[in-house]
Amino acid sequence: MATDEKSQSDLEAELQSLLEQERFDPPEEFVRQALVSDDSLHRRADEDPNGFWLEQARELDWFTEPSESLDDSNPPFYRWFADGKINASHNCLDRHVEAGNGDRVAFHWRGEQGEEEDWTYADLLRDTQKLANGLKERGIGREDVVGIFLPMIPEVVIAMLACARIGAVHNVVFGGFSPESVSERMKVSEAKALVTVDGARRKGKTAEVKSTVDEERIGDLDHMETLVVVKRTGADCPMTEGRDVWYHELLEAADDECPAEELDAEHPLFILYTSGSTASPKGILHTTGGYLTGVAHTTRLVFDLKPEEDVYWCSADVGWVTGHSYIVYGPMACGATSVMWEGAPDYPDKDAWWAVCERYGVTILYTAPTAIRAAMKWGVEYPERRDLSSLRLLGTVGEPINPKAWAWYHTVIGGRRAPVVDTWWQTETGAIMISPLPALTPTKPGSATKPLPGIEAAVLDEDGSEIEEGQGYLVLKRPWPAMLRTLYGDDDRFVETYFEKFGRETYLVGDAARKDEDGYFWIVGRIDDVINVSGHRMSTAEIESAIVSYEHVAESAVIGQEDEDSGQAVTAFVTLEGGAEPDDELEGSIREHVAQRIGKLARPKRIIWADDLPKTRSGKIMRRLLRDIAEGREAGDVSTLREPGVMDDLAEQVRQRGDGGDE
């Protein structure tokens, strides 16, 4: 124990001294072997951005090569490579098999219980073709929407690529979301089929999935014709004759061959719903050619990926955009060998991830700051149990990384050999936008550094003038191939959300940022009512409307409170109807209700009872003041409040209840 304590304090000292260093040059050893170690791509992109992107697009395998790059005749409805014909499934599968790499492992899949399966490109192509035929037999075709609600099993990749193969549009819902959220997303996208599972595993327990989908009556939605069910846990699973079909039976009965459809570059590839500032989620629509260009190009560029040598692991869930772009489409278009991990980072023990790195000789690891903070809290003894010397590059995404977590990641996990790429991007951008190039850009912990070649970012003030110092609106000033094309079924909301504030040629990101004297970007946080819980976007409005739907609740305001583990945590101020008394039981029920309605990530960590909420004279809730209260600060300017006394009452209530919060 004494040595543990000593090594812990040595490490602390080491991290502190590391943090005094402001800049980190790319490690020499890394630079020597890197794919890109000079700025020729930047120069090429600056001189002719559209030509540069067309060259990147041509790295893919087209049925008809595009001759055009950007079509900006109708901003903000940009089109890319519009005269090309392509298929994403073909690029992720057939292309590699045809090149003689069918035996290459695409995924080392590792299950919850330690099960191991290696899936080669040829294996995935075989099953993808069968599923694609099965879907076709069920009447699914071009532009039909197919929902996917699956855990991290190989079938999720097969389902996505089967859709892409026949021109159907997938709509993946994160497995942690509630069936009610799935239902809403299926309804608004008018999905014709849903691919789901009998049950899911989490830390040795199993949970029924298909039966909850049935309880929510998702199979009865208008337009919904087919539920395809993967058998995973053997959970009780009622099947409705004619509508429901087992995945394995569908595959068994299907023909082996299903040629990939030759699709327009602008053919829709997928919809992914993400939280916005109102209660209804936004259906981000991505199309084929531009998106695939963006993700394949950035996988090579940012992760320095060498498909013949590397073992790459992105620890995200496929249900988020990180999984779409950097588990499925980017790495697979490049022919990478990846790890796919079903489990939790601390099951069966807190060294689970590091055991996976050791087992497969992972060379590139891409994860989220929240996971790094958790590992840091568990202690160095867990990574120290394992040999992590194969790691040569580390990445993060999802939220700003605190410099200390950065230093820990770099030192304990990367042994100071591996550069850290802090990658900034969004569901909307499709691919990484701001990030170091690992062999070129000196890094500063906490900054995603600079825009990638071909990307032009800026920080603007309220009037749209560029500011060189201080905080402002982060924008992207030039269209890029992987950008969203619209919000599914809602062009007006698309324009309004992203292209109204600064005009139709400037994409409003929704983050606040500042630029430093070296032109490095520092992301400060969201400007809208979106909060970031463990790197996952949650809408305050959506959580509020779930809370208000609970009995006895009159009003609610949700904020993201600073949190050591999750970055931000959901804190809800709740006003009850007259006569109702707050107590622990009600608090518990409200929290459960939110988990049920939206998903566990949205469950408030803390509920603060409020007799009234601070509002402006026009009735707008002032969340800034609520954040002050929740985080224990003196409240800022209250002069615009309709009833300034509200603040004193609230502060008193928080004081009386102590710090509150649980878990």
Residues that bind ligand WTA (CB under 6 A): 274, 320-322, 397-400, 422-427, 448, 510-511, 523, 526, 532, 537
Residue 24 beta carbon to ligand WTA: minimum distance, rounded to whole angstroms: 16
CA 498/CA 428 separation, integer angstroms: 10
**Strand 205-208 with 199-202, pairing:** antiparallel
CA 189/CA 174 separation, integer angstroms: 16
CA 408/CA 418 separation, integer angstroms: 12
- H helix runs in 368-469, sequence order: 369-378, 381-384, 403-408
For ligand WTA, the closer of residues 532 and 556 by Cβ is 532
Q: How many residues does the chain have?
A: 663
Residue 5 beta carbon to ligand WTA: minimum distance, rounded to whole angstroms: 33
Phi and psi at 67, nearest 5°, equal: -105, -20
Residue 510 beta carbon to ligand WTA: minimum distance, rounded to whole angstroms: 6
CA 270/CA 223 separation, integer angstroms: 18
The pair of structure tokens assigned to 276 is 């916005």
Residue 405 beta carbon to ligand WTA: minimum distance, rounded to whole angstroms: 12
Residue 204 beta carbon to ligand WTA: minimum distance, rounded to whole angstroms: 28
| Widest pairwise Cα distance in the chain | 73
Residue 399 beta carbon to ligand WTA: minimum distance, rounded to whole angstroms: 5
Which residues does residue 24 pair with via DSSP β-bridges, in sequence order?
443
Distances (CA, A) of 165 to 92, 272, 286, 602, 616: 10, 18, 15, 34, 53
Residues contacting residue 300 through CB under 8 Å, at least 6 positions apart: 35, 334
For ligand WTA, the closer of residues 263 and 508 by Cβ is 508
Residue 311 beta carbon to ligand WTA: minimum distance, rounded to whole angstroms: 22
Strand order in the sheet with 420-423: 116-120, 105-110, 337-341, 311-314, 364-367, 393-397, 420-423
For ligand WTA, the closer of residues 295 and 646 by Cβ is 295
For ligand WTA, the closer of residues 198 and 428 by Cβ is 428
Residue 629 beta carbon to ligand WTA: minimum distance, rounded to whole angstroms: 24
CA 171/CA 51 separation, integer angstroms: 32
For ligand WTA, the closer of residues 537 and 597 by Cβ is 537
Q: Which of 550, 287, 563, 272 is nearest to 426 (CA)?
A: 272
Interhelix angle 584-597/179-188, nearest 10 degrees = 40
Measured from each CB, the residue nearest to ligand WTA is: 427
Residue 488 beta carbon to ligand WTA: minimum distance, rounded to whole angstroms: 15
For ligand WTA, the closer of residues 185 and 350 by Cβ is 185
Q: Which of 229, 234, 403, 413 is nearest to 315 (CA)?
A: 413
The pair of structure tokens assigned to 333 is 């278009």
For ligand WTA, the closer of residues 50 and 315 by Cβ is 315
Residue 536 beta carbon to ligand WTA: minimum distance, rounded to whole angstroms: 6
CA 44/CA 52 separation, integer angstroms: 6
Residue 401 beta carbon to ligand WTA: minimum distance, rounded to whole angstroms: 7
For ligand WTA, the closer of residues 314 and 547 by Cβ is 314
Cβ atoms 523, 448 nearer than 8 A: yes
H or E stretch including 246?
strand 244-246
Q: Which of 647, 641, 557, 651 is nearest to 606 (CA)?
A: 557
- DSSP string of 433-454, one letter each residue: -B---TTTPPB-TT--BSBPTT
Residue 450 beta carbon to ligand WTA: minimum distance, rounded to whole angstroms: 13
For ligand WTA, the closer of residues 360 and 406 by Cβ is 406
For ligand WTA, the closer of residues 124 and 523 by Cβ is 523
For ligand WTA, the closer of residues 397 and 650 by Cβ is 397
Fill in the DSSP letter of residue 599: B
CA 232/CA 310 separation, integer angstroms: 30
For ligand WTA, the closer of residues 109 and 174 by Cβ is 174
Residue 449 beta carbon to ligand WTA: minimum distance, rounded to whole angstroms: 10
Phi and psi at 373, nearest 5°, equal: -65, -40
H or E stretch including 244?
strand 244-246
Residue 528 beta carbon to ligand WTA: minimum distance, rounded to whole angstroms: 10
Residue 321 beta carbon to ligand WTA: minimum distance, rounded to whole angstroms: 5
Distances (CA, A) of 118 to 15, 105, 110, 327, 393: 38, 6, 9, 15, 23
For 44-73, the three-class secondary structure string (H helix, E strand, C coil) is HHHHCHHHHHHHHHCCCCCCECCCCCEECC
For ligand WTA, the closer of residues 108 and 514 by Cβ is 514
For ligand WTA, the closer of residues 94 and 317 by Cβ is 317
For ligand WTA, the closer of residues 476 and 574 by Cβ is 476
